[in-house]
């Protein structure tokens, strides 16, 4: 089963440059995904109007809105595969 942190790492890899010398395609450097975000991810992530975060009502800073949406969809897809097809 995939957890939310693994889904976030997969989402970062989708936007990272595979030829990047800094992150080598992982999208981040070090253990902290937020503080270690590589510049290649910001360059390759399209600008988007991020939905407001529930805490303060302001959108997430670029590129986190798109990355978070993608991580959520990866995580949801993995969870749906664990749901039984037959409910009887």
Distance CA 61, CA 52 (A): 10
At residue 33's C-alpha, the angle toward residues 48 and 63, to 5°, is 10
* Contact criterion met (CB below 8 Å) for 15 and 71: no
The model carries a pTM of 0.78
Model pLDDT for residues 38-74, shown as the tens digit of each residue: 999 999 998 765 555 556 667 778 888 899 999 999 9
What's 38's DSSP letter? -
- What average pLDDT is seen over the chain? 84
- Of the candidates 77, 75, 85, which has an alpha carbon nearest to the alpha carbon of residue 10? 75
Is the omega angle on the peptide bond into residue 63 within 30 degrees of 0, that is, cis? yes
């Amino acid at each position: 089963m995939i957890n939310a942190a693994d889904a976030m790492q997969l989402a970062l890899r989708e936007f990272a440059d595979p030829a990047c010398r800094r992150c080598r395609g992982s999208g981040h450097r070090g253990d902290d995904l937020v503080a270690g975000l590589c510049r290649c991810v910001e360059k390759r992530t399209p600008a988007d109007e991020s939905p407001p975060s529930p805490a303060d009502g302001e959108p997430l800073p670029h590129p986190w809105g798109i990355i978070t949406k993608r991580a959520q969809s990866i995580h949801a897809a993995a969870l749906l595969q664990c749901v039984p097809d037959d409910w009887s």
